[in-house]
Each structure stands twice: as structure tokens, then as C-alpha cells.
Chains A and B, each alone.
Chain A
Amino acid sequence: MEKVSNKKFYLGGLLVSLVLAGVVSFYASSHPDGLEKVAEEIGFIETAKDPATAGSALADYGLAGVENERASVGIAGVIGVAATGIVATSFFIYLGKRKKQ
């Protein structure tokens, strides 16, 4: 059943995620998403406020100060993958271990 070793599986998954967030993300559609579009069409988009985190150096998936759009979104994506990986993996490994106690 285990056709692929743990190491290969997890490294492969991480690599795919890095390529998607770091490279492919540049080609993502920049149109408003479903909720935003509906809000525009109906009119309640005007009630939206900038989030308190709008000043974040990574706001809107771009690294502040990096002019090159491709690099800006790519670096933001890689940072996001790293942050999610560290936070989520340590959290779930903690949960997985806690059960035994």
C-alpha cells in the first residue's frame, strides 16, 4: 500500500506547494472573488473596511518594497507556505502526541 516513502511523499507535497505558491500564483486570476463580485453587483461592497492588518508587509499577497510583481507575489507565497507549515505541523504533531497521555 505504501508506494512512496514518507520522506518522498512529504517532500513532494511541500515542493508542489512551494511551486504553486511561489511561481504559479503569479498567473492567478486577479478578478474579484465570488463574494467580492456579488458585493460589487448588489452594492454592499461600499460597507467594506480595510482590515487592521492592511499595513502588513505581506498585505494582499505581495512583499512590500519589492517592485517586481512576479518576485513580490512569489516571495509572499513562499513565506506563507513556510509560516503555515511551521505553525500547522507543530500544532498537529502536538495534538497527535497529546492523545496518548
Chain B
Amino acid sequence: MHIPDGFIDLKTSAAFAAIGAAGVGASLKGATRQLSEKSAPLAGLTAVFVFAVQMLNFPVAAGTSGHLLGGVLAAVLVGPYAASLVITVVLIIQAFLFADGGLTALGLSIFNMSLVGVWVGYGIFLLVMKVLPMKKPSVAIASAIGALISVPAAATGFVLQYAVGATATYETSAVLTAMVGTHILIGIGEAVITFLTITAVLASRSDLVFGFKGNAHELEIR
């Protein structure tokens, strides 16, 4: 879902870059509060893992592929603020080193994947956890559901940007239908990868997982 240059006009791109920068600024504050010396290396590893898995496009429908966004995976592992930073670092490296996503479009992609994807998905995770017991399988299931929703949510972010500042003149409603439909399918892949990864980390080092038991609470004590 890395947006190339040209889809969205420069004025709109600049506006979303400003929103993205404000979001990253807030994430820096939040992450400084939530990260500890113990959890900081996990944020680094999460970025590495998200970068690696984003290279693995999986087929979804005829002639279409998708790949992990990783927002909810990161949020459950290291908390939502650090997760936004994790995805932002990955997007910056992808744009500058790998020409994946445009530079003027970077703010648009950061808004969709680092902010909308992370926070909508993490919100769903928290909601699902309210009705499930605090057990490892619940955390994995809630993560998967959050991940599933996070992908069409991020796709909707693009549709918003398209509506505001597309350089093309095709109907926004057609873009909305196509984007959401395709990205629900990609969301299933996102859910599976997130479920498997969270399950593996919970099995080996549940003490590191932000979204499990008292870990989040413990980390917020100053």
C-alpha cells in the first residue's frame, strides 16, 4: 500500500505530511513513556521483522498480491506509540533505499500505515480483549482480529486522500469499493501472519509482549 508519487497532488501530500509529522511527534512522546530499556531492543527487532515480512507478497485474488503492514503486530508487541515509529522507520528505509513508495507521498503512507493502521487495529485489539480472558490464545486472537480490520482501515485512509487530492478524475466511490474489497482479502493474510507471530513470541517470551497481562501497565510506571 506504498503510495507512489503522482497519485495525490502536492498540496494534499504536504497536508498529510504535516499530520503525519504531528502523529510521529506524539508517538515519540508516548513511546518514550512506554518503552523501557528492556522493551527497546524488541522494538528494533520488530522493525527488522516487519521489513523482512513486507518483502513477502502473498497472492490474494487473480493477479493481485498483498503483504503485511505490521501495525497491529507491532502495537501488541511494543505498544501503539512505538509501533507507529516502527512502521515509520520501515517506510522511510523502503522509500529511500528501495524506491518503494514515493518521497512526496511518504507522509500519505505514514498517515495510512503508521497512524490509521496502528491505532484502528490496536483499538479493535483492546475492544476484543475486553470480552476475552487475559490468556495467551486470547491475545493472539484479538491481535488477528485487529490486524484483519487494520488493513481495510489503512486502505480507507488512502481513499480519503484520493477524495481530497487525487490527480486523476475517476469517481471516489469506485476507488472506495475496490480498495476496501481488495484489502479485506489482504487483511486475512495480515491476520494469519500476526496470529502466528504473536503466538510464537508469547510461547517463547510472553514477558516482552506489551499487550499481554500486566506488561503494558508495568511499562507505564515512570
Contacts and interface: CB of A to CB of B under 8 A. Distances in A.
A29 interface: yes
Chain B's interface: helix, strand, loop or mixed, by majority? helix
A66 B5 CA distance: 27
A67 interface: no
Interface residues of A, number: 68
Contacts, number: 240
B102 A93 contact: no
Interface string A60-101: 110000000000010011011101110111111101111100
Contacts of A97: 37, 40
A34 to B, nearest CB: 4
Interface of B: 1-7, 28, 31-33, 35-41, 43-49, 51-53, 55-60, 63-67, 82, 85-86, 89-90, 93-103, 155, 158, 162, 166-168, 170, 174-175, 178-179, 182-183, 185-186, 203-208, 222
B98 to A, nearest CB: 5
Contacts of B86: 88
Nearest to B186: A34
B98 A35 contact: no
A92 to B, nearest CB: 4
Given A3-B203, A84-B90, A34 B179 contact: yes
A80 B205 contact: no
Contact of B158 (A10, A35, A98): A35
A94 B25 CA distance: 16
